Structure 1
């Protein structure tokens, strides 16, 4: 699947109509979850039952009837996605919270399937034909959607963000760019000091731009840390305004834009680095980290989140599938403690940055871990005891709900 995103331009009345469609989508999803909660134990509520219930909602509520019928089904499927995820977590018997479905309070998108919209022949404008009154919107972006047939567009998603409204086109094509094999293999150990350290002894850092020489480097790019002062100032301005006033809404918008900028910086940085790593290696090995557990350490939670390790892993897996390369996730146990030369466990604290072994091996602890990660990946590949990571076949990483609905 390929997802192309455009910014849409329209009038205030059209933006208000998009907001109304988003509120209706939230209403349908919450009603579907309430229907599941209130259903008798003997009555089986599944995806098809919720779709049937969404048809009933169209008869009861005028606002739901104004939304396209397939968009109503898509909203009900969002409710089923939350329910099915809860069931899967319960069946897995993993410790911790199982993700019991909750009512959504701030929905920011609505999805249309194959009806309810019509593209202009130039494919630079789109018209929504349901009774919400969205009408014709201009598409602003550099993507070449003209190269794809309209029949290949499976879904269109309207998204509200802090800096405007966007349209995502889900195109049902197989995306591949097979690269020639070069015989190179690499192990990656992500960290806070450096973005990652590899098995070749390289530490990926953020290069200075502009006047300084290219070899001059700074530590891991901490986008949130750099913008933290500005974000806190904009957050304080919110509470200085009267609750519910226009000034407070404007202050909230400024605050949201700053966070959106940090999010985009993380995505672009992770995408650029992952593409280079996968394109220049046939095998990429990395740790199968449980970031959600690691951020429970309050001393390191902000730094770990700012490093965006899981986002980097997602792009590694995506480009591995696109370029027909191999991305392998290995268990992280003792990768930093075990000597990459003789295999002896050398205990060291987190503050100890150099690995020194009795066998004479001395190198940076992250490089030692990266070598161990690569060795584990090679063992798993030769013995076929591990499964390869599978990427997501899209060009833009989007929300899980859209992915699940595309794949089903």
Structure 2
């Protein structure tokens, strides 16, 4: 599936209507969570039961009835996703917290399915036809949605961000593959000094977007507390602060996407570390830097472009890849501050280059046991949230060796 995103041009009246639709979606989701929590143990609450509950809510509350019926079902589906994830974590005995469903306080989107909206013949305007009063919305963007059939649009989402509203279209189409420009093979070691280091000795610079914008962000944050609570000036200061964070977030995403595309376009085999970023950020000394470098987004785009260019993307365990000598295999203990690998066998390399070679060798050694390419079937390993032009469900992802 493919997601195309447009900037929405809306009036003040439409902003109020969209915010009301978003609040209604949040209300339905939270009511569905409460319905599941209060249900007796012998009752089987599933996706169908929650969809039926949305119908009962439409009869009970007038403001819920004003929202499109399929949009109400989408809201209960969000609740079911949280519930089903909790059940799955319990059944798999996931260590730590199991992710018990919580009530939402900051929902920022409303999602329609195949009804409740109609696309203009030019496909540059969309009209929402439910009783919330959103009406016709102008779309700004360069995506070629006019080349796709309206029947291929399975979901339409209105998303609220710090700089305005956006409309996303989810299309049920197959993403077309593209030819590679080369058939290289590399191993990647991500880090904080460099964005990544490969097994050929190349170091991609770390852009450090947050660090560069941190001074301006802190200044914008201070301005919030100088404004009186409840005043319009405080609201504007908060909006300026949010836009600065949004800009950094977009920079990270675009950088990760561009670099991942270049890597997969030039290499037939890409081996990288299967890092658990969620655990790594528990180190409070490095958490800000780890979040700033966006390892999870980079891996996500690697897996997407590996399918698009017909490359092989393989994730390997990262254990001892920095300590092991890539030449003789001996273990050479190092601290994080030690940036050069020196072994008694005479091998002397930059620390990250040595790790990248170990990662590449590990992937090559185990390649015969488990290897999946763009024509096979694999287990999904995608991380993160929805991105523009992102495959939401693919036949193939990288296996964990």
Q: State whether TM-score is above 0.5.
A: yes
245-254 or 49-58: bigger deviation: 245-254
The residue number in structure 1 matching 2:302 is 316
Distance (Å, rounded) in 2 between the aligned partners of 1:391 and 1:87: 19
Distance (Å, rounded) in 2 between the aligned partners of 1:318 and 1:385: 16
Q: Are the equivalent residues in 2 in contact too, given 1:336–1:365 (CA < 8 A)?
A: yes
Task: State the Cα RMSD in Å.
Answer: 2.1
The residue number in structure 1 matching 2:101 is 101
Distance (Å, rounded) in 2 between the aligned partners of 1:121 and 1:79: 35
Distance (Å, rounded) in 1 between the aligned partners of 2:68 and 2:102: 25
The residue number in structure 2 matching 1:24 is 24
Distance (Å, rounded) in 2 between the aligned partners of 1:389 and 1:76: 26
Counterpart of 1:354 (choices 340, 344, 352) is 340
The SS at the match of 1:127 is strand
* Unaligned runs of at least 5 residues, structure 1: 206-219
Alignment pair present for 1:137 and 2:123:
no
Distance (Å, rounded) in 1 between the aligned partners of 2:392 and 2:224: 34
Q: Are the equivalent residues in 1 in contact too, given 2:386–2:392 (CA < 8 A)?
A: no
Q: Are the equivalent residues in 2 in contact too, given 1:54–1:73 (CA < 8 A)?
A: yes
Q: Counterparts in 2 of 1:249-260, with a 5 A limit?
A: 249-260=235-246
Distance (Å, rounded) in 2 between the aligned partners of 1:36 and 1:69: 20
Distance (Å, rounded) in 1 between the aligned partners of 2:363 and 2:144: 38
CA shift digits 1:131-186 (9 cap, x unpaired): 00000000100111110000000000000111110000001100022425843111
- What is the deviation of 1:271? 0.5
Counterpart of 1:285 (choices 246, 271, 274) is 271
Q: Are the equivalent residues in 1 in contact too, given 2:4–2:389 (CA < 8 A)?
A: no
The residue number in structure 2 matching 1:171 is 171
What is the number of residues matched between the two proteins? 388
The residue number in structure 2 matching 1:397 is 387
Q: Are the equivalent residues in 2 in contact too, given 1:329–1:388 (CA < 8 A)?
A: no
Distance (Å, rounded) in 1 between the aligned partners of 2:245 and 2:128: 30
Q: Are the equivalent residues in 1 in contact too, given 2:180–2:265 (CA < 8 A)?
A: no
The residue number in structure 1 matching 2:398 is none
Distance 1:33 1:309, change over 3 A: same
The residue number in structure 2 matching 1:244 is 230
The residue number in structure 2 matching 1:68 is 68
- What is the deviation of 1:93? 1.3
The residue number in structure 2 matching 1:384 is 370
Q: Are the equivalent residues in 2 in contact too, given 1:328–1:389 (CA < 8 A)?
A: no
* Unaligned runs of at least 5 residues, structure 2: 394-401
The residue number in structure 1 matching 2:354 is 368
TM-score by length of 1: 0.91
The SS at the match of 1:383 is coil
Q: Counterparts in 2 of 1:126-205, with a 5 A limit?
A: 126-180=126-180, 182-205=182-205
Distance (Å, rounded) in 1 between the aligned partners of 2:89 and 2:212: 37
- What is the deviation of 1:388? 6.5
Distance (Å, rounded) in 2 between the aligned partners of 1:34 and 1:165: 29
Distance (Å, rounded) in 1 between the aligned partners of 2:87 and 2:392: 18
342-351 or 130-139: bigger deviation: 342-351
Q: Are the equivalent residues in 2 in contact too, given 1:188–1:284 (CA < 8 A)?
A: yes
